[in-house]
Structure 1
């Protein structure tokens, strides 16, 4: 059974941090005698001298410095525990799971996450990256509270967020990079890199899938890497490949038609009445950043 208290350790840390009993008392809003008594009592309970006073100067002993390094972690965890309890009291979620299609703009997602973390620093944010129907499937299963998806929900209550442009691209040294007036018939003779639907229940295909050769991968980053290595072609979101286009690692295919297409992205959630303040904050930031 611990004999010392968190409050005693807080006062000892305040003396160490602010260089004296009066300074610590001002910081913790206690009288100097209260702080002095707490530290003296802690030293008696531990049998170790923590603070040494020489004239007007206060020093932390070697033993005190060793214990201080450990107590910093304990006090930080205590503060987190108290914050969690406060959040629970106010109805704040302890965790928010967001299912996000990999084509959704990363800059928007990351900024929204950062804003939410600034407001609710102790809430655990979980991002589940998906492809095609995967985001909505996780939402329907209750694995995620929010989905950012290229598909609407069955109840048609989805909210339009943004439109993304997809471009037909290949690597800079791929045979297609040198061709003009490429027809869909021409594409059939080259390998297409296709993303696998991460959903299980209702898998779907989207876009042109007419190539005689196809490699199917599970992640957008893998698709981009394969195409940069001149191993195929694909329609990829322009925002995701902007740097690769700028530096010539990827080049647009000169198609006679269908070289670009747009896809809507939707904000989906099941019941607005059940959303907590963290979810509402994330939704608000995503709305603002995509407008």
Structure 2
């Protein structure tokens, strides 16, 4: 009998419970009272439960009726959400948004844009994947991500469409108590070559990191930015890091920004990338536009003195 249960019956149950009578529920729903009464009776038969006590002047929910009412509200709410979501898809919105982002991208900017996206598209399911180096591109090629933000490690492939989004300034830094921190600047090339450099390495075989930005003979390799930062703060070596990520540590005296003979910093371009031929949905395009608006107030790192555009591991 449960397969005879309908959303219309559940909506009528909710209306009767909220209005307090079958006649008031009928007026609210634009129905005749007999139709409302029959719908409730049919629901009770389908559930094999008495939902209302009709012995008094007004129908009163039974204990079972109160429990079913709570479930009915959830089911009707989900059905309304499903209908609204279907309407947004039919109107041109993507059914969901999976975004793969390199951790080099300023997280504060991303969070504010995603918060605004929630307000603009409250029914849109969002999945955020944060992976460094070849990770975002791999998710894009696997079909897992609809959109990716990362630094191109080589010329864009023919099957991908990339648009420049911003530059991230990568600066050489070291722990304040590391021997490099006390060297005269610019730190001599020979001294730098003798120190341990902490570099990021590929998690995936998709592409190979260029050798630009590697200045030391001794390398420690890491697959994620957060772990490299921990070892940097612990004094294991030096590396290039995004300025927006290490600036609080520099200000607090935990890290020192270096000026090397080889480098005072380098601008790493981050791009918005998608599969070529795949158009952005309305929500995806909205997010990209919002990110651009928020980034426009940030001075382009490439304009900073002493920077170049070599890739930085």
Same-fold call, TM > 0.5?
yes
Structure 1 stretch displaced more, 209-218 or 58-67: 58-67
CA contact (8 A) 1:19 1:59 kept: no
Residue 275 of structure 2: SS of its match in structure 1? coil
1:164 counterpart SS class: strand
**1:231 corresponds to which of 232, 236, 242:** 236
Q: Give the RMSD, CA atoms, in angstroms.
A: 3.2
Shift of 1:150: 1.7
Classify 1:253/1:39 alpha carbon distance in 2 versus 1 (closer, same or farther; 3 Å).
same
How many residue pairs get matched? 289
**Structure 1 position 238, deviation (Å):** 1.2
Which residue does the alignment assign to 1:146? 147
Corresponding residue number in structure 2 for 1:283:
288
* In structure 2, C-alpha distance between the alignment counterparts of 1:60 and 1:175, rounded to whole Å: 77
For 1:243 and 1:19, the matched residues in 2 are separated by: 58
Greater shift, 38-47 or 3-12, is seen at: 38-47
Contact 2:161 2:276 in 1 (8 A): no
The answer on whether the counterparts of 1:165 and 1:238 sit within 8 Å (CA) in structure 2 is yes
| 1:274 pairs with 2:279 | yes
Q: Secondary structure of 2:250's partner?
A: helix
User: Per-residue CA shift, 1:91-110, capped at 9, x if unaligned?
Assistant: 43222232222201112222
Please show how residues 69-218 of structure 1 align to structure 2 within 5 Å: 69-151=70-152, 153-154=156-157, 158-181=162-185, 182-205=187-210, 207-218=212-223
Distance in 1 separating the partners of 2:295 and 2:230? 27
The answer as to whether partners of 2:165 and 2:270 remain within 8 angstroms in 1 is yes
Q: Tell me by how many angstroms 1:141 deviates.
A: 5.0
SS in 2 for 1:131: coil
Q: Who is 2:66 aligned against?
A: 65
- Report the CA distance between 1:59 and its aligned residue: 5.1
Matches within 5 A, 1:30-45: 30-31=30-31, 33=33, 35=36, 37-45=38-46
Deviation string 1:140-190 (CA, Å, 9 cap, x unpaired) is 554433221222624596322212111211223333333332223222233
SS of the aligned residue for 2:245 comes to: helix
Q: Secondary structure of 2:220's match?
A: strand
**Over residues 56-98 of structure 1, what are the superposed CA-to-partner deviations in whole Å (9 max), with x where a residue is unaligned?**
8875432223223433443333233323432443343222232
User: Is contact 1:93-1:278 (8 Å) kept?
Assistant: yes
With over 3 angstroms needed to count, the CA separation of the structure-2 counterparts of 1:286 and 1:186, relative to structure 1, is same
Q: Is the 8 A contact 2:197 2:218 kept in 1?
A: yes
- Relative to structure 1, the CA distance from residue 247 to residue 23 in structure 2 (aligned partners, 3 Å threshold; closer, same or farther) is farther
